[in-house]
């Protein structure tokens, strides 16, 4: 996982597409994964969880170590 567009980041973004924060967890960023998973879970009750879900996907795809 070397940077934007790498295979690792694409896989992480796909994982975050299904479960917010899973891509960050695959990248080894446990705190970011936990924050995004909890925020998405809370905000889905207010119909705003899709914002955190999108943020999670984009963050996983653009992350650089």
Q: Which helix (H) or strand (E) holds 33?
A: helix 30-43
The domain segmentation of the chain, as residue ranges, is: 7-62
pLDDT, residue 64, reads 83
The structure tokens 């891509």 sit at 23
- Whole-number Å distance between alpha carbons of 21 and 38: 9
pLDDT, residue 37, reads 92
pLDDT, residue 5, reads 61
DSSP for 4-62 reads TT-HHHHHHHHHHHHSTTHHHHHTT-HHHHHHHHHHHHHHGGGT-HHHHHHHHHHHHHH
pTM reported for the whole predicted model:
0.80
């Amino acid at each position: 996982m070397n940077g934007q567009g790498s295979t690792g980041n694409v896989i992480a973004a796909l994982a975050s597409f299904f479960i917010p924060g899973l891509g960050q967890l695959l990248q080894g960023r446990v705190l970011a994964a936990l924050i995004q998973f909890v925020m998405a879970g809370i905000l889905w009750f207010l119909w705003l969880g899709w914002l955190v879900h999108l943020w999670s996907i984009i963050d996983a795809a653009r992350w650089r170590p």
